Structure 1
Amino acid sequence: MSAAERKLRGGLLLGLLSSPVRVAYLVGVGIFLWCVAQFYRPDTGFSSLISIGDLLSDSKVSALRTVPHYIYESSPGYDGAYYVQLALNPTLDNPELEKAIDNLPYRAKRILFCWSAWVLGAGQPAWIVQAHALLNVICWLALGWVLLRWFPPDRWENALRWLAVMFSHGVIMSVRHSLVDAPSLLLVALAMRWLETGRSRAGAVTLAFAGLGKETSLLATAGLDFDWRAPRTWGRVALNVGLVALPLVLWMGYVRWKFGPAQDPGMGNFTRPLAGWIEKFGVAWREAFSATPSGLLWATLAVVLALAVQALFFALRPKPAERWWRVGVAFAGMMLFLSTPVWEGYPGASTRVLLPMTLAFNVLVPRGWRWLPVLLAGNLTVAATVFEFSPPHEFYELRGEATARGAVRVLPASGWHGPERHLQQHWRWSTGRAELRLTNSSDAPLQLAVRATASSAGGMRSVRVSLGERLLWGDTVGEGAAPLRFGLTLPPGVTTLVFSTDKPAEKVGTDPRALAFQIANLEIVVQRKTGSQ
C-alpha cells in the first residue's frame, strides 16, 4: 500500500471516529456482529440461527439430514427450519417436501429468500444451509446502509431512530430464527428510497420482489405515487398495484397447480378489529403484575404497548399525502385484525409482522425533544430484543487443564429437556430421572470437581445424584437455587451419573412440559488424578 493510500484510509477512519454519533452507529454494528458470532460452532457453523428442532428429525428432507446442522432438543423448532428445506429444493420438485413442511402451499409462497440462499450457496447443500442462516445477517447490514437516507449519522436523534429500528425485536427475531421478515423490510425500505428519488420503476420492481419474499409486504404498495385528491388517477394506481402483485399471483398459481390449495391460507391470523390486541394486552398485563413476574413478561407488555403507540400515531396524525404515512397506516390497519396466533407467545410474532409500521413510525415522528417521549414509547419493542440474542449453550462447562479437559466428553442422556439460557445463566429441566454420561477417553483416571445449583419446579422435593448405588450428593430443594457440590474419580470409559427425585414431574403455569427439578450452571473441573501420569 502506497503512502497516499495509507493517508487516505487513515483519513477515512479518523473521519468516522471523529464524531461520537458515527461511533454510536459503528458500536451498534459491532455489538450486532459480536452477538451473531456467539452462534457459531465449529461443527455446525451458524446453523443454530435456523432453529431446527429434533421433533422434525423423522420428516426432514434428505439433503438436510446429510448436512451437519445444529438441532434444538425437545423442540419443534421454528419457521426457519421449513424455509431452509425450501432453499434446498427451490423448484419444489422434491416429493419429500410434502411430508417435511406443514402446510407446504402456504409456506412455499414465500420463495424469494429460499432462491437467494440457493444461489448464495451455489446449489451445494452444506453451503445453502449456511447461506440461509446468514442471509438475515447480510440483509441487516444492507438495511443499516439503506436507512442512512432517513437517519444520517449527523445527530443523536437520528442515531436513536436508526438503532431503534435495527435492534427492534422484530428485526432481531428474524435474524435469530432465519425468517423472511427482516429481508422483506430491506426490500420495502429500498423500494421507498427509490420511489422518493423519482425512480418509480425500480421502486415498483423492488416491491414486487418483496411480495415474493412475504405476501404482506405488498401492503407497502401504498407508498407508490398516489394523489388521493385526484380520483381520475386512481385507476392507474390500481393498475400499478396489480402489476406489482402479478409475480406473486403467478407464483401462487404455480404452487396451487403443484400442490393444491393451502390447508390454511393464513386467514386464521385475522379476527375482529382489535380483538386480538385486547386479548393479548389483558394477558400481558396480568402476567406482568403477577406474583412471579419476570423480565420477559415485562418486555412482552412493553411490546404490546409500543405497537399500540405506533398505530395511534398514524391514526391521530393523518397525512395521506405522505407515502410513509400511507405505508404505516396500511400496516396499522392490518394490526387491528391480527388474531391470537400472531400475538401469542413471549413476546410473539407481532413485532416482525408489523416491521414496516415500525420503520414508518421512526421516519415520521417529528424531530425535536418534545416528541422524544412518543419516540421512546413507540420503540419499546427493543426491551424484548435481549431475549432473542441468547445463543444455544449447554448447561455445563468443562474447566481445568487443557489436555485433561480434552479427554472428557459430557452427554446429557435420557430424562432432560433441552438446554436453556438467559444472559449468563444456563440450565436444563429434568422430567424426573435424568442421566449424564461422562466419557474419559484417556488411559488414566481423572479427578472431577462438580459444582452447580439445583431447584424445584414447584414446592419442596428431594434431589439426589448417584453413581450406581453410591450417593454423591443429595438435598431437599425448593424454587430457590440450592448449591450442588461433589467430587468424583472418573475412570477411563463411560460413567453414568443419575439425577433423581422423590416426586413426579408437574406442569407449571403455561409451560406445556412436565418439570421436576432444574440443574443450572453446571461446572465440571477436570484434573489429573494425583499419582497418575
Structure 2
Amino acid sequence: MLQRVWSWIQNPVGKAGVRPGLVLLYVLAAGWIVAKISDYHVPHFGYTYLIGVGEEPPQGIDWASDRDVVVYRHFRSPGYDAQYYAQIAIDPGLQDPVLAKSIDNLPYRARRILLPWTAYLFGVGQPNWVLNVFALQNLVCWFLLGWLLLRWFPPTDLDRAMRWLGIMLSIGVLFSVFAALVDAPSLLLLALGLKWIETGHPWRATAVLAMGGLAKETNLLGAAGLAPANWKSARGWGMAILQGILVALPFVVWFAILRWRFGDTGGSLAGVRNFSLPFVAFAERWAELASAVVEGNVAWKYLGGGLATHISVTVQAAFLLCWWRWSSAAWRLTVPFAVLALVLGTAVWEGHPGASSRVLLPLLLGFNLLLPKGRRWWALLLLGNLTMFFGPVSLEPRTREIHTVLITNRAEVAEAALPQGELRVDFPRPWHRAESDGDRQWRWSEGDAAIEVFNPYDRPVEVEIRGQWSVHTDRLGQLKQGDTVLWQEHLTRAPTDWRVSGVVLPPGRSELWVTSDQAPAQSNPADPRKLSVRLLKFAVKGRVLD
C-alpha cells in the first residue's frame, strides 16, 4: 500500500516521462487557488462573498431578508449575475412568486437550471447551506477540470504544462470561480463530453452534453463534436443527428416548461445585445481598446486584462477557423465557438476584461488541444494563452473593514448590561466601499459624510478615536460630533495621523461627521468619482462608563 502511495506521489497522472518540477508547478497552482478562495471566507457569512449579492439590488427587493438567509452584501453595489442563480438554487422548483420580482429576468436566468439544482441537492435543501455550496461549486469544478485536462496535458514537458496552466489560470476560468458563475462548470462538461467521444463512448458524451445545455445554452454548440469523423458517412450522420436531438431535448423541454409557466415575459428577448452582425461588435471592441490605450481612461490593471482577452480570442478563433481538422473531435466540438465569437454583440465584449473571457472558454480548450507542439509554435501558444498572465492579478482582493473596535472593560461590565452584539461602526453613503492595495485599507467620501457608531450597552461608552486622513486636493478637514469640533487640521496627499480622546457615545446610535471646506473633485481621468476625504486605520478604543 505504501509503495502504491509513493508511486502515485512520484507520478500522479500515470504518464511516462512525468517531470517532478512540473508536477510541483501544477500543485502550486492548486494550492494557490485554495489559499485564494479561503481568503474570501467571511466570518458569519461563510463563502457567500463570492456570490456577489449587492447592497443595492437592481430590482429593489431584499430577497435575502425575505428568505431569512445569511449572505454577504457588497457595499454600494448592485451585485453581479450569480446573485440571481443563487436565488434560484434556494428554490429550483421556481415555486416562490417573489422570484419573478427579485430576479431581473426569471425565464432567462432559469434556463441555466443545472447548477442551482446541484447546489440545492448537495446543500440538502437548507438555504444557508445551499448558498455556500453554490458559491463553492466552481472550486470543485476547477479541480475536476484540472484532473481531466491531465489526459491531454500531463506534466511531461513545458509545452503541455503551459497549455494546462493557460486554461486553469485564464481570466475566464478564474472569473467564473471567484464570481460563482456557470462558465467553468460548463467547460468541464464540454471537456468530459470530448473525452468520451475520443474514447469511443458517444452515448455517454450525448448525456453529458445534454446536461451541459442545462448549465449554459451555448454548450449545445458542443454537440457538433458528435458529428462523424468521416464526413461522407451517411450512417454516421444519421446517428449524429439522433444524438444531436437528444442533446438538445432536455433544454427544449425545459424552455417549453418555462414558457408555459411564465409566458413571454421577456425571457425570449433576453440577451438581444449579446449578438450582432458578423465582425461588427468584434471590430468595435478593437477600436474601443485602442481608444482606451490612447486616452488612458482605464486603469492598466483592467485594460491589460481586456487587451489580453481580445488578443487571445482573436488568435484562438483565427487558428481554429484556418486549421481545418474535421477528423478531430476536439476541432468539431470547439470550432462552432470560433464562429460564435464573430457574431457576439456589444454586451459580451464591453468591460474589462468583459464576458467574452468566459463565454468563449471552449475556444481556449480547442486551441490548446489542436495547436501543434514544438518551439516554432511557442509564440502562437503564448498569444493564445495570454490571459493566464493576467488572470491571477485581475482578481479583486476581498475588501476588509478599515476599522477596529475594542472595549477594554467588557469583562467587568455587569452581566445584565451586556448586549447581544458589539459596538458597531458603519460607513453609509456618501462613503465609498472599502479599498485596498494589499497592505492598507481605506474608504473615500464623496462629500461631507457621517460615521455611524452604535453603542449596544445600556450606559454610555467613553472612547478614544484615532486614524489617518489624506486627500488628493489640499483642504481643511474636520471631525465633528453634533456642533462640537473634535479635530481639525489642514490635509494633504500625505496621510496625517490624528487622535481624539474623551468622546462619549450614549446608548444607541451616534453620528460623527467628517467635513471639509472644499467641494469633492475628480482624482484622475481613469477614476470618474468625485472624492473628498480618505480615511485609513480608523480605530475605536474605550470603556463602558459606570
Question: Normalising to structure 2: TM-score of the pair?
Answer: 0.86
Residue 483 of structure 1 corresponds to: 495
Which of the residues 282, 288, 293 maps onto 1:288? 293
Q: 1:512: Cα distance to partner?
A: 10
**In the alignment, does 2:458 pair up with 1:455?**
no
**Alignment check: 8 A CA contact 2:206 2:247 kept:** yes
Q: CA deviation at 1:220?
A: 0.9
Q: Which residue of 2 aligns with 1:134?
A: 136
Alpha-carbon distance between aligned partners in 2 of 1:209 and 1:312, rounded to the nearest angstrom: 29
Give the structure 2 partner of residue 112 of structure 1.
Answer: 114
Moved more, 124-133 or 481-490: 481-490
Q: Indicate whether 1:241 and 2:244 are aligned.
A: yes
- The one-letter amino acid of 1:484's match is T
Any idea what SS the aligned residue of 2:27 has?
Answer: helix
Instruction: State the secondary structure of the residue aligned to 1:149.
Output: coil
**Match of residue 213 from structure 1:** 215
Q: Greater CA deviation, 501-510 or 344-353?
A: 501-510
Partner of 2:332: 326
1:254 aligns with 2:257: yes
Distance 1:244 1:412, change over 3 A: same
1:482 Cα shift? 3.0
Match of 2:362 among 356, 360, 363: 356
Q: Distance in 2 between matches of 1:45 and 1:82?
A: 18
Mapped pair 1:297 → 2:308: no
1:432 corresponding residue in structure 2: 447
Q: Which residue of 2 aligns with 1:199?
A: 201
The range that moved more, 50-59 or 197-206, is 50-59
Paired AA for residue 454 in structure 1: S
Partner amino acid, structure 2, of 1:429: W
> Could you tell me which of 87, 90, 96 is aligned with 1:88?
90
Q: Classify the secondary structure of the residue corresponding to 1:152.
A: coil
CA apart distance, 1:407? 6.8
1:159 to 158, 161, 171: 161
1:383-394 correspondence to structure 2 within 5 Å: 383-386=389-392, 388-394=394-400
How big is each residue's C-alpha offset from its partner over 1:177-223, in whole Å with a ceiling of 9 and x where there is no partner?
11111111111011111111111110110000000110000111121
Is residue 271 from structure 1 mapped to residue 276 from structure 2 by the alignment?
yes
Q: Deviations over 1:354-410 (max 9, x none)?
A: 011111111111111221111111112234423553243235143889989x97643
- Alpha-carbon distance in structure 1 between the residues aligned to 2:512 and 2:286: 45
| Identical aligned residues as a percent | 34
2:432 corresponds to: 417
> Residue 246 of structure 1 aligns to which amino acid in structure 2?
L
Amino acid at match of 1:303: T
Give the C-alpha shift of residue 467 in structure 1. Answer: 3.9
- 2:511 matches 1:496: yes
Query: For residues 518 and 189 of structure 1, what CA distance do their matches in structure 2 show?
Result: 50
In structure 2, C-alpha distance between the alignment counterparts of 1:379 and 1:472, rounded to whole Å? 54
After superposition, the C-alpha distances for 1:104-158 in whole angstroms (9 at most, x for unaligned) are 1111111011110000110111111111111111111111111111111222222
2:19, 2:156 within 8 Å by CA — same for their partners in 1?
A: no
Matches within 5 A, 1:1-12: 5=2, 9=5, 12=8
- Does the 8 Å CA contact 2:197/2:329 hold for their aligned counterparts? no
Using a 3 Å threshold, how does the CA distance of structure 1 residues 321 and 425 change in structure 2: closer, same or farther?
farther
Distance of 1:429 and 1:395 partners within structure 2 = 13
Cα distance, 1:343 vs structure 2: 0.9
Preserved contact between residue 461 and residue 476 of structure 1 (Cα < 8 Å): yes
Task: Note if contact 1:207-1:220 (Cα within 8 Å) is conserved in structure 2.
Answer: yes
Contact residue 227 and residue 332 of structure 2 kept, 8 A:
no
Say which of 334, 338, 348 aligns to 1:342. 348
The AA in structure 2 aligned to 1:309 is: V
| Secondary structure of residue in 2 paired with 1:106 | helix
Query: 2 CA distance for matches of 1:285 and 1:323?
Result: 36
Return the letter of the residue paired with 2:275.
F
Offset of 1:278 from its aligned partner? Answer: 1.6
Give the deviation of 1:68 after TM superposition: 0.8
Q: Contact 2:305 / 2:394 at 8 angstroms: preserved in 1?
A: no
For 1:340 and 1:463, the matched residues in 2 are separated by 44
Find the aligned partners of 1:183 and 1:403 in 2 and give their Cα distance. 51
Secondary structure of the equivalent of 2:96? coil
C-alpha separation in 1, matches of 2:494 and 2:30: 39
| Alpha-carbon contact 1:447-1:488 (below 8 Å) kept | yes
Cα distance change of structure 1 residues 506 and 94 upon mapping to structure 2, 3 Å threshold: farther
Structure 1 contact 288–301 (Cα < 8 Å) conserved: no
Return the alpha-carbon distance in structure 2 between the equivalents of residues 310 and 111 of structure 1. 29
Decide which moves more: 27-36 or 265-274.
Answer: 265-274
Equivalent pair of 2:115/2:215 in contact (CA under 8 Å): yes
More displaced, 381-390 or 350-359?
Answer: 381-390
Superposed counterparts of 1:5-20, under 5 Å: 5=2, 9=5, 12-13=8-9, 19-20=20-21
- Given the alignment, which residue of 375, 385, 389 partners 1:379? 385
Deviation at 1:165, TM superposition (A): 0.5
Counterpart of 1:284 in 2: which secondary structure?
A: helix
Q: Which residue of 2 aligns with 1:174?
A: 176
SS in 2 for 1:74: coil
Matches of 2:244 and 2:282 in 1, distance apart?
Answer: 29
Query: What SS does structure 1 have at the residue aligned with 2:80?
Result: coil
Return closer, same or farther for 1:518/1:306 CA change in 2, 3 Å cut-off. Answer: farther
Tell me if the contact between 1:63 and 1:125 (Cα under 8 Å) persists in the aligned partners: no
Secondary structure in 1 aligned to 2:450?
A: strand
Give, in whole Å, the separation in 1 of the partners of 2:64 and 2:131: 13
Of the structure 1 ranges 264-273 and 502-511, higher mean CA displacement relative to structure 2 is found in 502-511
Question: Does the 8 Å contact 1:288/1:298 carry over to 2?
Answer: no
Rounded to whole Å, the distance in 1 between the matches of 2:525 and 2:92 is: 38
* d(CA) in 2 for partners of 1:345, 1:403: 50
Tell me how far 1:310 sits from its aligned partner.
Answer: 1.0
Amino acid at match of 1:51: G
Taking the aligned partners of 2:318 and 2:478, their CA distance within structure 1 comes to 55
Q: 1:168 to 1:401 in 2, by over 3 A?
A: farther
1:37 is aligned to 2:38: yes
Cα–Cα, structure 1 residues 322 and 435, in superposed 2: closer, same or farther, change >3 Å? same
Alignment CA distance shift 1:230-1:369 (3 Å): same
Query: What is the TM-score when the length of structure 1 is the normalising length?
Result: 0.88
Equivalent residue number for residue 26 of structure 1: 27
Partner of 1:190: 192
| Residue 235 (structure 1) shift | 4.1
Q: Give the match for residue 517 of structure 1.
A: 532
Contact between 2:138 and 2:184, CA under 8 Å: does it hold in 1? yes
User: Does structure 2 conserve the Cα–Cα contact (< 8 Å) formed by 1:319 and 1:325?
Assistant: yes
The number of residues matched between the two structures is: 520
Q: Distance in 2 between matches of 1:219 and 1:432?
A: 51
Amino acid at match of 1:270: F
CA offsets 1:478-522 (integer angstroms, 9 cap, x no match):
xxx4313201225455653322234444678999975323526x2
